Structure 1
Amino acid sequence: MKIAMMSRWNATCGISAHAELVGREWVKKNDLTVFAPTLESATDWHHNPIEKEDEEFVIRGYEQPERIGKTGWIDERLWKEDYDVLVIQGLELLPIPTLLEKFPKINAKKVLVWHVGKLPIYKELYKLNFDAIVCFDFRFENMLKGKYPEGIISIIPYPCHPVAKVKGDSDKKRARNELGIPCEKIILFSFGKQPLFEYKDYLWLVNELKEKYDLKYLVLRSYGDLPPESEFLEVRRGRPEYEEIYKYLYAADIFLLPKSETEYLVVSSTVFQCLGALTPIVVPEVRYVELMDKEMVKYKDREDLKEKVIRLIGDEELKEEVLRHAEQYARENSAKKIANKFISLFEDILRR
């Protein structure tokens, strides 16, 4: 099957992560071309290129407009090549006026992967006709029914990074040695580019626990301001590939995920990318994880956070239970399985 995909790629955002997880599975058995935004145009807060060169099947093939509704250049190979399927990820970030002009020239079946948690008010967006629209869960489906025919909407969950093949004390020690992390300490770990206020609970937690435990809070920041370091807090800067992120997760005892509440429909791409590392995830009870349950540890307030982290540190049975559910979810929604669900959808619409 010859597949084209317009999407962010090799960047620190949920759209890019989704595209990479399914795209790297598709390319194993299909002819895939990714049309990604030019790095000069994709400069918003969400799009930070990771430290990795693009694969040979990736074309920096369109300009991301400054805001929705603005025009931009698209590589003509999108409509001049004979693709079977065109997958579009993150429509609101594409040059929609240009797409409206060129869509009739594209003979491929057109599939939209819907990411945004609120219906854009830009009416021209809804004039693009798709053969199928994919969303992540019933909340998105209910929202989209007001704008698109129900018969073309499908739910395919967000894919998970593969489960770690080996995870044990030897891997933890090796990862810590390679990353220069003390082997004898309890390591709490966070990474990303979230605003610093989303780290306040965890910084408070470390201050509360530092007398009780020999611990270190390691923060890997890809963007933005850095919190001040201390004896118990180490801050590093970088945007490594996920293989390197997984090494940090192997080295950690607990992954503290910073998230604040939002009014939009959302999922946490970070959760789905990290479940398979089989390191316990602690996260606030926010909308990002409202459909998740025993796969992680959710807390209501700071005292609840402190109590649950202490339990995770000292209760091996609780830790094993959390990781058992995390592994089950990650395997049921692996990138390979989700990519195959897309292929089945493509085959279905190609038969129509």
Structure 2
Amino acid sequence: MKIAMMCLWNAANGPSIHAELLGRAWVKLGHQLKIFSAQKHPDARPTFQEDEDFVIRHFRVDEVIPFTRATSFDPSPLLNEEYEIFVAQNVERLPAEKLLEVFPQIKKKAVTVQVVHEGKAPEDPLYYQFDWDAIVCFDQRYKDYIIKSFPAERIHMISYPYHPLKLGNKKEARRKLRLPQNEKIVFSFGFRSKDVISALPYLNELTQEYSLRYVVIANPESELDELYQAKKKYNFIDLKVKALPLDELYDYLYASDVLLIHRESSQKYPAVVSSSVCQLLGSGCPILFHQSNYVELHGNEIIKYRDFEDMKTKLIELFQGKLFNLTRIKDFLKDYEAERIAERFIKLFEELRETRNRNQKRRVR
């Protein structure tokens, strides 16, 4: 099957992670893929991941507020490349005005599918002018608002894909990253520095019981001032500022005793998913995540904590070899790893293509 997907790609961003997990799984399953992506976009924080040959970068976006509009946009790849399925990820953050102009030509040659990432109903009126053949939501929270604006029969629910199981060796990873073998390593990464700062006093209390190192990899586009100040105050912080390609990110997970993600519930968006969990669960590193709407649908494949005291308790239990069970992750991934989810999309594409072909034959008659 020849699939085109318009999305962010190789970026430290949730929709990009979804697109990459799905797109690479399609390629692995033998399908042909074209990616239409941005040369520049405010949401496209760097990963230094190298683009594959199938990636075409043909538009630029400088502003997404109040609405996403293109600074430059070359429509020729969308019009000239060969594909039978067209997937658009996170349409609210794509250049809707320019995409709408060429959408009739896209629909002439391809089945069109939108993947919903927006955490609430978008305010951009152009969002509602697209006539998608199908709209895919991750769960009921997304469907609850989408169904108010689009026909129910076009809305489908397909879970967010997960990186497949890819285990590593702790000793080798620590040697490779030049991290000590005899310390407990807590790891955090990303661009939300405030999430890291708030946990520090409680981690500091653990340094009285454990030889603890808190490895923090901050994206270069993060707000760094508070982190630099915190590093001066707490000597257990091992702070690095750099973009992380996926292979290196997995090395840090292999080297760590736990991945700590402290994120409060989103007040702005009722429907949210932690793309980090989806991308990193397959490493086999225990994930300790603050109880919030980012993980409200997760079960015991991750470990949740209520507050910072509970975080401390659960870190101690993890250091003692308790709480974590790799079998739970393996069982979970059997149903949700990327290839399984990619196959569900392919089944949907085939059904949509059959419907399209039947309708075309009727029109010919």
Q: Please give the TM-score of this superposition, normalised by the length of structure 2.
A: 0.89
- Deviation, structure 1 residue 38: 1.1
CA distance in 1: counterparts of 2:36 and 2:182, whole angstroms = 46
- Conserved in 1, the CA contact under 8 Å of 2:203 and 2:312? no
Output aligned runs, 1:199-214, within 5 Å.
Answer: 199-214=196-211
Residue 189 of structure 2 aligns to which amino acid in structure 1?
F
CA distance in 1: counterparts of 2:254 and 2:86, whole angstroms = 37
Partner of 2:240: 236
- Conserved in 2, the CA contact under 8 Å of 1:26 and 1:339? yes
SS in 1 for 2:20: helix
Runs (4+) off by over 3 Å = none
SS in 2 for 1:318: coil
Q: Deviations 1:274-309 (Å, cap 9, x if unpaired)? A: 111111111111110011121112111111111111
Output aligned runs, 1:277-292, within 5 Å.
Answer: 277-292=283-298
- Conserved in 2, the CA contact under 8 Å of 1:82 and 1:108? no
Number of residue pairs matched? 340
- Deviation, structure 1 residue 36: 0.6
Determine whether 1:333 maps to 2:333.
Answer: no
Determine whether 1:14 maps to 2:17.
Answer: no
Which consecutive unaligned segments of at least 5 residues does structure 2 have? Answer: 356-365
CA distance in 1: counterparts of 2:307 and 2:296, whole angstroms = 16
- Deviation, structure 1 residue 317: 4.3
SS in 2 for 1:290: coil
Point out the more displaced range, 5-14 or 238-247. Answer: 238-247
Determine whether 1:117 maps to 2:119.
Answer: yes
- Conserved in 1, the CA contact under 8 Å of 2:75 and 2:102? no
Partner of 2:156: 154
- Deviation, structure 1 residue 99: 1.6
Determine whether 1:217 maps to 2:207.
Answer: no
Residue 119 of structure 1 aligns to which amino acid in structure 2?
A
CA distance in 1: counterparts of 2:144 and 2:134, whole angstroms = 15
% same residue: 39
Determine whether 1:66 maps to 2:63.
Answer: yes
Change over 3 Å in CA distance of 1:113–1:74 after alignment to 2: farther
CA distance in 2: counterparts of 1:65 and 1:120, whole angstroms = 19
CA distance in 1: counterparts of 2:32 and 2:299, whole angstroms = 37
Partner of 2:140: 138
Of 157, 179, 196, 1:181 maps to 179
Partner of 2:347: 344
- Deviation, structure 1 residue 324: 2.6
Residue 77 of structure 2 aligns to which amino acid in structure 1?
R
Residue 298 of structure 1 aligns to which amino acid in structure 2?
K
Partner of 1:30: 31
Which consecutive unaligned segments of at least 5 residues does structure 1 have? Answer: none
Partner of 1:271: 277
SS in 1 for 2:294: helix
